[in-house]
Amino acid sequence: MASTVEQRLKEVASVGQEIAETGVAYLDGAFVPFADAKVSIATHALQYGTAVFEGIRGYWNPAQEQLFAFRLREHYERMSDSVKILRVSLPADPQGLADITVDLLRKNSFRSDVYVRPLAFKAARSMKVALAGLRDGFGIYAFPVGAYLPTGGLAARTASWRRTSDDAIPARGKLTGAYINTALAVDEAHDYEADEAIFLTADGHVSEGGGANIFMVRDGILVTPPVTADILEGITRDSIIVLAGELGIAVQERAIDRTELYVADEVFFCGTGAQVAPCVEIDRRAVGNGAIGPITKRIGDLYFALARGDDKRHPEWRTAVYR
């Protein structure tokens, strides 16, 4: 069931401390000690949220003594799309950025699951509220991490905050400033002792979670909001749609009403951070029978097996870090 607010705060604090104290980072063309990867307090991205980020997971397989970066190139392909929105330039193409990331992971010698955070940002020390003509910066850091959301069954709450629309602050790109919207919604959910928020669009349809896409199961069919519902076009979301098809599970991308979630047989969130996180309660209502459903479990088990390299299918999704 849902974790308590105190437990969640402890998890976040633990991750923050680990990020601050260990590792090697990459900043503007060089590998540096993490403590030296700094920007000015006057940096444009800090003032105005003018940055684009990605989240990439690496899965440690102890039996194989191997770390697998999951869908590494696809994340940088999405980043290459996102930076067009903010007119930020990247220092390399997706494959070049993937190669830098593998080097960074090797330099850190990780032997655990890790999270990789690339960041492309407006680095100019400028008070000008604009995008064009400002110097760009780029960095990557990584740190050990476990589950971002509980994977044993979580509680969610519909947010009073609406999802930002594409004609205001587009959710399609992972824009740092847009995540104020997420922070407000997730903070509200925690106030009600829920683990995750559920955003609605301006017209009242389900969009996505605070930091994850959402799926529901109704009558054996897997349903998820379309890309036009102000969602992030998730890499994990795409993976699950592919895997569901291979498992013979029908998938629909369509508008979802809020109350459909109340009567759904199963609901789960997915994302690089969230992974596959079953949802057993929404707005104080049990989802289905209040337990993790069979379709969610099948998809989750297959996803984790593929990501860790225990299932050999889709080798193109895994980048082995160590030679």
33 burial type by CB count under 10 A (0-12 exposed, 13-18 middle, 19+ buried): exposed
Identified catalytic residue from 122, 128, 174, 312: 174
Residue 229 CA, chain-centre distance (Å), reads: 17
Beta-carbon contacts of residue 45 (< 8 Å; ≥ 6 apart)? 39, 51, 121, 122, 123, 137, 176
Which CA distances in Å does 56 have to 49, 78, 198?
21, 12, 22
Which CA distances in Å does 113 have to 12, 62, 141?
16, 10, 14
CA atoms within 13 A on the CB side of 109: 1
Does the active-site annotation cover 174?
yes
What are the phi and psi torsion angles at 294 (to 5°)? -65, -35
Helix (H) or strand (E) holding 154: strand 154-158
Tokens of 217: 């199961």
Inter-residue contact 83 to 174 (CB < 8 Å): no
Active-site amino acid positions? 174
